[in-house]
Structure 1
Amino acid sequence: MKETRRSGIGWGLLISLLIVLGFGSLTLFYIIPFIFIQTDWIPLGDLKSFFFKSEGAINNNDQSNSEIIGTLGTVGDWFGGTTLPVLTFLSYIGVMIAIIMQRQELGLQRKELQETRDVFIIQRFENTFFNMITLNNDIITNIKIDIGKISNKSSHSPSSGRDSFSDLYTELLSTFSGKGKDRKEVLEEIINSYELFFSAYQDSIGHYFRNLYRITKFIHENEALSMDQKQNYIGILRAQLSTYELLLIFYNALSDYGSEKFLPLIKKYNLFDNINNTLLINQKLDWELYKNFEETKINLLKNEFEDSLILALYNSTAKGQISGAINKISELGSVPKDKKINCLNDISDMIKVLIESDCVLSDYQIKLLNSILIYIENYGKELGLKDDKSKKFLHKLKLQ
């Protein structure tokens, strides 16, 4: 509105200035004949005689009258010849101003339509977002769990609603030995312990975690939102979560169930901004593991897949450096023939899964992965074998 008002004031001043110049020019042209008269181009007495004397007097002075008429004719020709171009020029300026004002008005209308469209998109997004929040709250309300499947500490009545999360966290704690001395050992224990915990309670809480992931992904994939807006909606989501919900989400994200898709979004939007890390199972190492998850996961996998090229691809992809995989592929010439089959199938499977998965990849990364895949198919199209090591690795990453 302020921009429109300032623009209107500017155009008003310009139009007023042109009107003043136009009237000033016309007034000047009307005054010029009197200037001629005052400078004796036409004697003032002769002019009075021409207009005010009787017909007889005028006829007695025909020569003087002819001179007056001739002079006035010259002035009239000058006046007509100069006034018409000025009026034409002013008309042209007026048309140009009208066109420019119309273009500006159309630009403002387009801007208003875009703003209206953006508001409509945001409203539609918020309707879906808050419906998903409502659904999440309904899921929590309907949770009813018989606690004690792991700890064997059964209660007299099922745990329900948000209160069930503190009981579930107690169950998760009972699966940990707490003997991990570094991040790699802690991660290995989290993966194994959470697997035991989730297999016991996935029927009751599996849909809860899936819905949370869908809400986070829904925010992330909305291109109409700025980063600040996405952070704001993540903050609204975070405000709905209790202390023990955040703790369970924390370990879900570090496990094989959430580390591939959910954890990157959690870290990107800082979902654990206000988590009470004093309640973590291993306060210091667990938080360090969260901060350095990719590096720790790679170190853990190296123990089992030391010479696997697919590990190199996972490593480079996790760091956003897929080009490292190309360098490894260039070394295939020195790999024994019996191992080339495994290497080609490892890399091929990994790339296919990455392209078809929900991993957040740029257009450049997708093109690069497709190029690597074509190279592999051309290089070993006659070697269409599958090996257990490749399948085991993909199963380990939960990508198959």
Structure 2
Amino acid sequence: MHHFRQLLELQNSQLAQLLRFTLYGLETTLNQARAEFPQDPGVKLCDELLQELHNLLQPAPTPLHPHIGWEDVIPSQNTLKLDRLREAFNSDLELNYYLGNSQLQSQTDPDLWNEIQCKLLRIPEDLAASWRQRTLDMAQEIGAIADNSNLYELPFIRDEIIYPGLSGSVQTQGLSLSQKAFLNYQNLQNNESDLSTGFLLLYTKFIEIEPNLYHALKSVCSFDIISLNSKAEQQSQYINALSDRCQRTQKAEESADPLSILRAWIDMDEAIHSLVFVPPAERYSWWGKLQNESRRILKKIADKAINAGHEVRIRQLSGLYADICTSSKDDLQLDFGGTPGEVLTCLRVYARINHEESPGRVIFRSSR
């Protein structure tokens, strides 16, 4: 496995990405075969191989500021230069409404900067813009300035600075989307499969750097919202499922059958929207708008199926849960975040295709 690991850890390598996806597929196949043939004489060896694959596919921790090692001495909280920013952030009641009553955990200034900026991706963009300017003003007060030249790049189908890094008295990387990083894995063809591959590559990298992500993908875990940071096996299973659905959308597009493409994209869209925060990001946040790019593609595909003569209705479920619950199934409930009794996020759209109904799925806030 030594050479496998060496290739997997090689940066910006198409061969490394191909190997990773192949191993994800092998892991999924072996898991399915293991469940189907429990009395097979190779079960024990299969279990050992699955453990080796699981260990091999675990991503190495990738801090947003790699110049700071885990072995460094962690200062006490009252020595942070950005301590006043942390206190203001923790005490803001409007932020608590969207983020839940979770206090910032970082123990260094670079970590604190990145933790705050990542949390701002989950709140409405106007509030996030106001708070982002406030963070820059408070950073400048202690001798740190915005730095857009030092960015951790996430592969995607376009370029975008998500938030800046800092230089001066506090030095840390910012975060960006990078089409160049995406092109290291995929040739752009301006079709829907570019977006599905873009989400697959983006999510694979984002999961490595964001410890607060959960998944609610029904095919992986039916009745819970699972932390990807605390349960590593769920992380690999979620990425496996996302990769499998990405491949199915590509095969469907090759077939040129509008209904096959539509059904594959409904499944892909569900996997994309099932990567969530707790409580879920606000619909008009940066994260919400990013995920909504999948819904826009889904609408275009539905329109193509309608133009081909099919009866298609796609509905994103939102609003009061009592009003949409007959159109959904196996929903998940939270006791905090958002407004009691309302849908917090739509994981899977409701679909009606040629008189065949497919229920949606949501996370909602309990009415108590």
Q: TM-score range by the shorter chain?
A: under 0.3
Task: Name the one with the larger helix percent.
Answer: 1
**Whose strand proportion is higher, 1 or 2?**
2
TM-score by length of 1: 0.24
Greater RCO, CA 8 A, separation 6+: 2
